[in-house]
Amino acid sequence: MKKIVLLGIVLALFSVGLNGQTGGILSVEVTTATVSTTATDATQTRVDPRGGRHGSGRSYAPQNIIAIWVEDNNGKFVKTLLINARRYTDYLTAWVNATSSAGSTYNSVDAVTGATNMTHGVRVCTWDGTDFNGNLVADGSYVVKMELTEANSTGNSVAFPIIKGESTFSSNPDPNTNFSDITLKWEPNISTISK
């Protein structure tokens, strides 16, 4: 009988460890750049004398809009980390689809927000390990997604795996389309480790 009780205690402790909820900070840094375009692409955009530009799918480079967010390993939206877009958020289609699927379209709670970027450069944001409702999420594998467009059309999106947990995680993924010098670093807050 003692062995059964002891086994039950060990299994209970093990299952709690599997579902830990460690607080911490994921730091995200990325440099954005224009994907090379042809001369024809650049000349198709016209400046409207009333302000702004028009033309479906035409390049506004180096102006760009960008979203960075976290999804769980099943593709479920967790939280937006950065959104730089004004009226043109609909062209960030992967981000819009992710937030819509979560029932919280355009959700940017706690995110770094801003207008359309006039140039490319370094973008920095963080994630505190919570979802868009402020709840600390379970430790495990997650995905940082980035999407950028320089036109009135869907742009490029990329995804990078991360691990949220009791250990430090660091990754420097290879450059991809509009994104380079990518740094992803999870630093756990040891005082929040739940066991």
Q: Is the pTM of this model over 0.85?
A: no
Lowest mean pLDDT among 13-17, 19-23, 85-89: 13-17
pLDDT at residue 143 greater than cutoff 80: yes
Task: Kindly indicate the confidence band of residue 65, based on its pLDDT and cuts at 50, 70 and 90.
Answer: very high
Task: Kindly indicate the confidence band of residue 7, based on its pLDDT and cuts at 50, 70 and 90.
Answer: very low
Mean pLDDT of 128-155: 97
Task: Kindly indicate the confidence band of residue 56, based on its pLDDT and cuts at 50, 70 and 90.
Answer: low
What length is written for the chain?
A: 195
Q: What is the mean pLDDT of the chain?
A: 84
DSSP 154: -
User: What tokens does 128 get?
Assistant: 């505190």
Rg (CA), the chain: 20
Supply the pLDDT for residue 5.
41
pLDDT at residue 55 greater than cutoff 70: no
- Distance between CA 60 and CA 152 in Å, rounded? 8
- Distance between CA 81 and CA 70 in Å, rounded? 7
pLDDT at residue 1 greater than cutoff 90: no
Return the half-sphere exposure (C-beta side, CA atoms, 13 A cut-off) of residue 123. 30
- Distance between CA 47 and CA 9 in Å, rounded? 70
Question: What residue type is assigned to position 162 of the chain?
Answer: I
Top-confidence residue, 5 or 81: 81
Residues in CB range of 142: below 8 A, 6 or more apart: 70, 71, 72, 73, 78, 161, 162, 163, 164
Mean pLDDT of 127-141: 98
DSSP 86: S
Supply the pLDDT for residue 52.
45
Supply the pLDDT for residue 8.
44
Task: Kindly indicate the confidence band of residue 23, based on its pLDDT and cuts at 50, 70 and 90.
Answer: very high
- Distance between CA 29 and CA 31 in Å, rounded? 7
Supply the pLDDT for residue 3.
53
Q: Could you tell me if 166 and 20 are in contact, meaning their C-beta atoms sit under 8 angstroms apart?
A: yes
Mean pLDDT of 20-42: 80
User: What tokens does 125 get?
Assistant: 């944001």
Strand bridging mode 77-84 / 65-72 = antiparallel
Q: Could you tell me if 108 and 83 are in contact, meaning their C-beta atoms sit under 8 angstroms apart?
A: yes
